[in-house]
Amino acid sequence: MSATNSVEKINGPDGSLEKVILHGEDSSLVEIYLFGATITSWKSQGKERLFLSKQAKLDGSKAIRGGIPLVFPQFGPGELPQHGFARTRKWSLIGTKKHGSGVIAQFELTENADTLASKWPYRFVLRYTVTMTKNTLSTIIEYENNDTRKFSFTSLMHTYFRVPSIDHTVVGGLKDSQYADKVKQTTNEVELRDDITIAANEDRVYENVPGVVDVRYGGERVTIKRFNFKDIVLWNPWAEKAQEMSDFGNTEYKEMVCVEVGTVAKKIELRPGQTFSCGQLLTVETADN
């Protein structure tokens, strides 16, 4: 077993670095694949907090289904492939360190010939910092425009939370927020519920959410604090949509809910040489109810 507050590097069959595992206090753990810089596991207080489909492809053939895929520079469908290219590119590990009670890993992604030939042909740098303590997970991206032209983008952290049962899971903190319902194809709806339960296919974009959002289940809460991200996407495919996905089990919708921080309703714009940082802090707590 690896020591507390340590970093483990795992190579793939070809000998190249495949993933990084951060080990922390009380057996806390975070696993990050270089493919997409996708976090596939976060263990805190002895429990797995992220959902990873048993059908997920971990061989680089497609985006990883679960964990925290990174969406950039396009959310959803558009001129680029679904959710852009950051989640299907191999990132570079640029450093790890121990800091107090935490462990930190930093990753980097830049343009290449394929992205420069795409419909989003700009020079950029993304720096992704993952920090784990025994009860928290912080994920921060710094976006830098290295081009001679300004560019705009949307971005999101597609966090899949593992829950014991979707029937006994509540999402809070979205009351009074305006949202677009992508299932019903409506816009400018207003959330009236303090506590949201899920019993069908849900795909909503809540805009300009003001405060902390949380996911509650089994006497526990995971709070979601945002840094410069304006929006929250709430998603569960439910039974019919689950069956349409080859990398998602037919009944796995019962074990997960996506509560995704991002700025997707309006684009972020960066001038040449400008940088901007966004992210989230996830904290495991005891729920009040």
Tokens of 31: 């696993």
65 is in an annotated binding site: yes
Ramachandran category for residue 95: left, alpha or beta (phi over 0 → left; psi -120 to 50 → alpha)? left
45 is in an annotated binding site: no
Identify whether 260 is a catalytic site residue. yes
Whether 220 contacts 287, CB under 8 Å: yes
Which one is catalytic: 23, 158, 202, 252?
Answer: 158
Report d(CA 25, CA 29) in Å as an integer.
Answer: 9
Identify whether 23 is a catalytic site residue. no
Work out the burial of residue 55: count CB atoms within 10 Å of its CB; fewer than 13 is exposed, 13-18 middle, 19 or more buried: middle
Whether 75 contacts 85, CB under 8 Å: no
Question: CA-CA distances (angstroms) from residue 208 to 30, 31, 47, 58?
Answer: 29, 30, 31, 34
Tokens of 43: 């263990």
Beta bridge partners of 98: 103
Which one is catalytic: 202, 220, 255, 260?
Answer: 260
CB atoms within 10 A of CB 195: 13
Which 8-state DSSP code applies to residue 35? Answer: B
Q: What share of the chain is helix, strand, coil (3-state, %, to 5)?
A: 10, 50, 40
106 is in an annotated binding site: no
Binding-site annotation, residues: 65, 82, 87
Binding-site annotation, residues for substrate: 65, 82, 87
Residues marked as catalytic:
158, 260
